[in-house]
Amino acid sequence: MATEISARGSQRTIGHEEYSLYSSLSEDELMQMAIEQSLADKTRGPTTAEATLSARANRQPAHFYPWTRSTAPPESSPAPAPMGLFQGVMQKYSSSLFKTSQTAPVDPMLKAIKDGNEEALRAMIKEGKNLAEPNKEGWLLLHEAAYYGQLGCLKVLQQAYPATIDQRTLQEETALYLATCRGHLDCLHLLLQAGAEPDISNKSRETPLYKGTACERKNVEAVRILVQHNADTNHRCNRGWTALHESVSRNDLEVIEILVNGGAKVESKNAYGITPLFVAAQSGQLEALRFLAKHGADINTQASDNASALYEACKNEHEEVVEFLLSQGADANKTNKDGLLPLHVASKKGNCRIVQMLLPVTSRTRVRRSGISPLHLAAERNNDEVLEALLSARFDVNAPLAPERARLYEDRRSSALYFAVVNNNVYATELLLLAGADPNRDLISPLLVAIRHGCLRTMQLLLDHGANIDAYIATHPTAFPATIMFSMKCLSLLKFLMDLGCNGEPCFSCLYGNGPHPPAPPPSSRFNDMPASCKEPSVVQFCEILSAPEVSRWAGPIIDVLLDYVGNVQLCSRLKEHIDSFEDWAVIKEKAEPPRPLAHLCRLRVRKAIGKYRIKLLDTLPLPGRLIRYLKYENTQ
C-alpha cells in the first residue's frame, strides 16, 4: 500500500505506513514533535476544528429555568475534519492542557436570590416576569430564597405570590421545610407568621418539626418556634418515628423537654412497637432515659417481638442503662419471642458486670422454661468469666437443651460441656467438669469430639471424670466402640485409648465370620440423615469401616495395634483380605493365630478385673515395677 498524503489547507491525512515511521519513538520524543508542529500550525491560522470551537464558545448559554430558556434553534455541528499525526499526538497527550473551559450559565433570577438582591427581584416583577414558575425539579424562587436564607428576597417573593407559600417541590418539600433543614430561623419565623402550614411533610412523611430534630446540627430554636406555632408533635414519618423518637436517639434533652411540654406522647410507638424509652435503652442514652422515666414512660415497654427495653440494653451492653432500669424496677423475667431472658443475651455477649446485676433478679423457673441455660450460651461463645459467675451462682451444670433447641444443631448437642469441648476450650471444659458436669449425657459423647480434635488434655479430663471410653453413637450404631472408629487415622491416639482400657474385642466379632461379606453401605456424613423407611439402621461392622478407601491403607497397622489388647480372636474373611493385600503384613496374620502367649492372656485378665474406670490405679498395686509396666503396656512401642 502506497503512502497516501493529501493536503487541505494545513490539514494532512496520513496512511498506515507513516504511523509506522514513528512507532519506535518514545512518548517524550513524540510530545516534543507535537509541540513543534503546533507552533508551526499557529503561523498558518486556525484550522476548521479550531474555528468551530471558537464559534461554540461565543454561543449564548442555555438557562436552567423555563422562564429564561433560549429560543434560538440549536446549531448543527459540522463534520469533524480529518486529524493528522501531530494533531492526534497532541490530543492524546495534552488535550487537558490546551482545552478551553466553558463558563457555566448563570440564571439572572437565581443569581439575584443568591446575592440577596431584593431590588433586582422587584424590578423583574415590575417588568411582568413570572417568578412563580417552577423549574424541572419543582423548585420556585421562593424555595431557593428559603434554602439560601435570603430573608429579604423571601419576603419580596412571599408578598408578590402569597398563594405559593405552601407549594411543594417534586420531593414534596415546602419553603418552610427547606428553611428548617438549613437552620434559617429568620426565614422560618417569617413563613410561619405569613401563614405557612407547619405540618406539611415531604415524600418520607417528615415534617419541618421532625427534620428540625433530625438534622445533624442542634436546632433547638427551630423546634421551639414550630411548637409555639402548634406543629404536630406526634406526627409519624414513614418509619413510624416521631420527633420525640429522633431527639431521644440523639440524647438532645432540650429538644426532648420542648416536645414533651408541647404535647408529645412519651408512649408513642413506631411500626415495630418501639417507644422513645425503648430507643433510649437500645442506644444507651441514659439522660434521655432518666427524663422519660421521670415523665411516666413505661419502664417495662416491649417491642412487637416482645423484646423489653432491659433486654435491648443488655444486648447492646449498656451497663449504666441496665443498672438504671433495674433500679427503677424493670422486670428481668420478660422473654422475647424466642423465649430468651436478658440474662441469656448478657451471657451470650459475655458482659460479666451485667450478668452479675441480673443474677439476683432472674427467676430460675423462667430460665428452665426457656429450654436453654445461660451456661450453654456462655460456653458456646467462650465467655469463661461469665461461665465462672454462673457456676458460682449454682446454675445447673447438667441442664439440657430443650429438644426443639437441640434440633437446631446437626449433632443434637444437649449439654454446656459439649459446647465447651466443641470449641476446644480446655479451661471451660475443666470448669464444667469440676462443677459436676456429666460427660455421658449427650447423644454424641464429648469424648468423641475431643478425639476428633486430637486434644489429649481434653480427653484426659473427660476420662478422669467418668467419660465412657467405649462410647457408641445411637443414631449410627457400630458393632465396636465409636472411640476406636474416631481414632483409626492416628495410631498413637488409638494406642492411648487402648492403654486406658478401651474394649477392642468387638472389632473381631464380625457378624459374617469367614463367609462372604455384603457390599459396604454408602457413608453418611450428617447425623440427621435417616433412611426414608422406618427400619432401624443396620449395625456397621469393624471390617466394613476398615474397608473405606481413606482407612484401608492403614488396615494392617490398625489390626496390629488392636491385637495387642485382645486374646484369642478369629479374623473374618475381609480382614484376612486386607492383611493379604500387602506382603509385609503377613507377620500380623501370624500374630493373630491362636494360641496367644500366656503372659499376654494373664495381662488381659488382670486389666479386666481392675476395670476400665480404675485402670489408672495400676501404679498403686503391690506389684513389682516391671510387672506394672507390663500391665500398662509401657514395654511396647
Cβ atoms 435, 404 nearer than 8 A: no
Give the pLDDT confidence of 34-61 residue by residue, as tens digits.
666 665 554 444 444 444 434 443 433 3
Higher-scoring residue by pLDDT: 25, 189: 189
Phi–psi pair at 302, nearest 5 degrees = -125, 145
- DSSP 8-state secondary structure symbol assigned to residue 493: H
Summarised one tens digit per residue, pLDDT across range 153-181 is 999 999 999 999 999 999 999 999 999 99
pLDDT value of position 13: 39
Degrees (nearest 5) of the Cα angle 596, 600, 601? 75
Q: Identify the top-confidence range among 18-27, 99-108, 425-434.
A: 425-434
Grid cell of 49 as nine digits: 476544528
pLDDT in tens, 416-447: 999 999 999 999 999 999 999 999 999 999 99
- Helix or strand holding residue 13 (H, E): strand 11-14
Q: Taking all residues of the chain, what is their mean pLDDT, rounded to a whole number?
A: 84
**Which residue is listed with cell 506382603?**
583
* 226-268 per-position pLDDT tens digit: 999 999 999 999 888 999 999 999 999 999 999 999 999 999 9
Average pLDDT over residues 22-44: 60
Q: What percent of the chain has pLDDT over 90?
A: 65
Instruction: Give the pLDDT score at 348.
Output: 97
240-to-199, 234, 235, 272 alpha-carbon distances in Å:
15, 10, 9, 8
Cα dist from 351 to 295, 315, 328, 387, whole Å: 30, 9, 21, 11
Listed residue (623, 362, 512, 161) closest to 354, CA to CA: 362
d(CA 68, CA 568): 109
In terms of DSSP H, where are the helices of 473-585? 482-486, 491-499, 542-546, 549-552, 555-563, 573-580
* Residue linked to cell 498524503: 5
DSSP for 126-178, written as a single string: HTT-------TTS--HHHHHHHHT-HHHHHHHHHH-GGGTT---TT---HHHH
